[in-house]
Chains A and B, each alone.
Chain A
Amino acid sequence: MELQHVNIKIFVDGDLAVAPARFVDVFHEWVREQSLDEMLIDVADYRHVPAGPGVMLIALEADYNIDQTAGRWGLRYNRKSAIEGTNHDRFRQALAGAINACHLLEAHFAADGPLTFSRDEFELFINDRALAPNTPETYASCKPEIESFVMDVFGHSDFALTHHSDVRSRFGVNIKLTKPLDPKVVLDALQRNA
């Protein structure tokens, strides 16, 4: 089963301690500096929408946003362009994109934050209902692949996978690690394997 359009959401730890307006400034700066791997285009500000996409950094190949959907703040990486290779490659690419952005944001706000992203929980979605309708069958078929990817990246199997089962939602799972990850180490590992 080919899975494209991978989304990763890494939750903010605790409450969002940084005013959402600050992300507008940071994302504009990132566009100016072209700070990420993708071609960054613009910033879309949806702070006025309750439980919405918050502040978005629009890129050609992917979007990043400081996101409040489902009522929890987090950094979402939404891959739009197709990626060649295996599903593992695509999971890896999206997770690296998300962790890298979290890492940069933490560093940016280190002085006046604190802004920290979860070390032990994230979500993985397939934002494509043709490739991955959100059904038990899709879950059954994707689960082994997701598990092997998580084991591969984090080097252990101490995690719990929970399927978001609302049939109308995108296919998605919550991944809860029992051992907190070191983002730097994970990022290095992801990038080494890329």
Chain B
Amino acid sequence: MARPMGDSHRRFLQTIMSNGIIDGSQAKALHKHCCDVAGANYSQDRLDEFIDVINLHLQPMFMHIRKGMSEEDGLQYYALVNTAETEVTRMSSDYADNELELFRKIMDLVAESDNGTASSTDILNCGDALLSKKLKKKETEQVLNKFVQNKWLTEKHGEYSLSTRCIMEMEPYLRTIYQDLLKNCHVCDNIAFQCQMCENPDCGIRMHLPCVARYFRGRSDPHCPACNEFWPHEIPEMHRPLASQSQPSSAKENTAPRSTPLTSQGRRSGRRL
């Protein structure tokens, strides 16, 4: 029989549930905290095993703690997701019908864009054209703030994108709704919204910004990893997780050091269902 859950696991699970999403370093600190408080055995390198125990018990509930990467900073995050098909409905207890309609419109805008963002101007126009009940400009702004506050969207210079939490939790839904509009990142094979695209029309692969940064690190003359065409975009610089910051950047640039968060087993098992 599987390892039983203790209060350390329950505290960890509840904290993720009530926060929606936590980042990798928070997860590490939380792991230690939960074990300390419950008087359970703690060893630093056992976080994955610790989460496996929780996931085993969550499986019958069609839930899973999934590890994923942020499109913005390339860091690891953990969120509680559902392993079955998804709808925007978990938001429904927090939002009115017209607010949910606005959110679906924003997802449309983001999915149809080239760079995974929607401008506040476009969103404000959507608010004015809702079927359920129009939102005034001021109201739309308030709702947008609420989406950001509750970690469903992120905002930068008036551009909105889907948050890591949103993508992780709603991936199955997004794939069903947008199908061909969505492409995976060539590097990490996860869904890619905020990304760069190869400009060769026969190729058009996408890469997340952090994946671009990691892949082309130290290369002065970047070429598309799929078609070998020149990569015309500016290579972003990424803030690296502390653990790998000290690595010399010249060495083997695209064998991402041990922080490769990209092939989480959570994602895999999620798809299978």
Are A and B genuine complex partners?
no
> Residues of A with Cβ closer than 8 Å to B?
none
